[in-house]
Amino acid sequence: MAKSSKHSGRLVVVLAALFMLAVLWAAATLGRLTQPLSPGSLARVLVAVPKGASASRIGSILVKSHVLRSREAFLVAIRLDGLRSPLKPGVYELSPAMSPRQILRTIESGRVAMNAVTFPEGFTIVQMADLLARRGMVDREQFLHLCREDGRSVTAPHGFVAPDDNLEGYLFPDTYRFGQHCEPRMIATEMLGEFETRVVRRHPEVADWREPMIVASLVEREARVPEDRPLIAGVIGNRLHKGMRLQIDATVEYALPAHKVRLTYADLQTDSPYNTYRHGGLPPTPICCPGLSCIEAALNPALSDYLFYVAGPGDRHIFTRSLAEHDAVRRKLREARGI
């Protein structure tokens, strides 16, 4: 009995020691799995999380991107914290100095990496869609459908809604920061919100933005220098007042399926409500998204009796009051060019 008790006691001690070793090993392993791969690292890594990827696959991607030491570290973080919301696809800016839990929370929250994109003044919605699609920020066709056919469903933060379902003209050209694979509505809302802040709220006296923005878009596409903008806006107003057709080349270019450097006589016969050679009045919508200076020119056109203008040498236009004067200027310009 004494020997048996001694053997039992030793077995208990051995088992207890093994248990303690297992606990210590598990604690060490767990500690290693919950710590950053490289504490203090200043490296930043863009990591793409595909749509529909499992937690295990995301863990493997994080390892290949050198921000986690093992796939199990990500899975342990999920087991310890649980998932408060689904893991969201996108491109994330991560660091090996982040713990697995911090990485998990970033992907869970959808805080995707933000990339700067600049829309020049005078860009059309089609050009914006092409640029966003090339940068991997949006589905081109979804963005075009929303902005050209369902624009009135987009509301700016303070309640502004565009006059038409076509948002052409109302997406303010500027530099923005968007993530990869954004929802088209999020982008359109932010850009419309910028128009609301920079334009609408500064001009509470304007009840209807349709006509000013159409004129501003024509000025944007026609003027080459700031000095000409109010003068061109004035010519547009004078011709409309007299019932003259605007006959602006930029409206024909907008109606064509592809941009052309030089219009032909056949182009001027294009059957489109945007063709101001064939149709009187303003085109149905703006033909681009104008910048602030062109909008101000449309709101404050120069007071003159000019009815015509033509591109002169350099960047300035030459303005005239009659068709005879206009034709004379055109003849002189052709002679100077040897045409």
Shared domain check, 178 and 130: yes
**What CATH number is associated with residue 81?**
3.30.1490.480
For the chain, 339 residues long, give each residue's pLDDT as a single digit of tens: 555 555 565 655 555 555 555 444 444 444 466 789 888 888 888 888 888 899 999 999 999 999 998 899 899 888 887 777 788 888 888 999 999 999 999 898 888 777 889 999 999 999 999 999 998 889 999 999 999 999 999 999 999 999 999 999 999 999 998 877 789 999 999 999 999 999 999 999 999 999 999 999 999 999 999 999 999 999 999 999 999 999 999 999 999 988 777 888 898 999 999 999 999 999 999 999 999 999 999 999 999 999 999 999 888 999 999 999 999 999 999 888 776
Shared domain check, 235 and 333: yes
- Could you tell me how far CA 329 lies from the centroid of its own chain? 42
Shared domain check, 215 and 309: yes
| Backbone phi and psi for residue 46, each to the nearest 5 degrees, phi listed first | -85, 120
309 within a domain of the structure (yes/no) = yes
48 within a domain of the structure (yes/no) = yes
Under DSSP, the state recorded for 229 is H
294 within a domain of the structure (yes/no) = yes
Shared domain check, 221 and 330: yes
> What gap in Å lies between CA 285 and CA 209, rounded to an integer?
11
Q: Residue 241: helix, strand or coil by DSSP?
A: helix
pTM across the whole model: 0.74
The residues, any chain, with a CB within 8 Å of residue 157's CB and separated by 6 or more, are 189, 193, 196
What are the tokens at 331?
């003849």
Can you list the alpha helix ranges (DSSP code H) found in the chain?
Answer: 2-34, 55-64, 71-81, 100-109, 125-134, 140-149, 184-198, 210-222, 228-241, 249-255, 292-299, 323-337
- Of 65, 73, 69, the closest CA to residue 92 belongs to 65
Cβ–Cβ < 8 Å for 109, 93: no
173 within a domain of the structure (yes/no) = yes
What's the chain's length in residues? 339
- Of 177, 199, 175, the closest CA to residue 186 belongs to 177
**Of 71, 95, 112, at which residue does a domain stop?**
112
Shared domain check, 136 and 95: no
> Can you give the pLDDT at residue 167?
98
**Of 147, 174, 202, at which residue does a domain stop?**
202
Shared domain check, 178 and 134: yes
Domain count, the chain: 3
> Can you give the pLDDT at residue 91?
81
> What gap in Å lies between CA 173 and CA 119, rounded to an integer?
5
**Of 112, 146, 164, at which residue does a domain stop?**
112
14 within a domain of the structure (yes/no) = no
**What CATH number is associated with residue 133?**
3.30.1490
Number of H helices, E strands in the chain: 12, 6
What are the tokens at 81?
């914290």
Domain extent, residue 220, equals 210-337
Shared domain check, 311 and 216: yes
37 within a domain of the structure (yes/no) = no
38 within a domain of the structure (yes/no) = no
Shared domain check, 149 and 48: no
> Can you give the pLDDT at residue 339?
60
Shared domain check, 316 and 215: yes
Shared domain check, 130 and 76: no
Shared domain check, 140 and 74: no
Radius of gyration of the CA atoms of the chain, in A: 32
Tokens 């080349």 sit at which residue?
Answer: 249
Under DSSP, the state recorded for 87 is P
21 within a domain of the structure (yes/no) = no
The residues, any chain, with a CB within 8 Å of residue 250's CB and separated by 6 or more, are 218, 221, 222, 287
Can you list the alpha helix ranges (DSSP code H) found in 199-322?
Answer: 210-222, 228-241, 249-255, 292-299
What are the tokens at 80?
């310890």
The residues, any chain, with a CB within 8 Å of residue 192's CB and separated by 6 or more, are 154, 155, 156, 160, 162, 167, 170, 171, 172
> Can you give the pLDDT at residue 313?
86
Cβ–Cβ < 8 Å for 185, 154: yes
DSSP secondary structure of 126-169: HHHHHHHHHTTSS-HHHHHHHHHHSGGG---TTS---SSS--TT
Per-residue pLDDT tens over the stretch 27-74 = 444 446 678 988 888 888 888 888 889 999 999 999 999 999 889 989
Per-residue pLDDT tens over the stretch 163-195 = 999 999 999 999 998 877 789 999 999 999 999
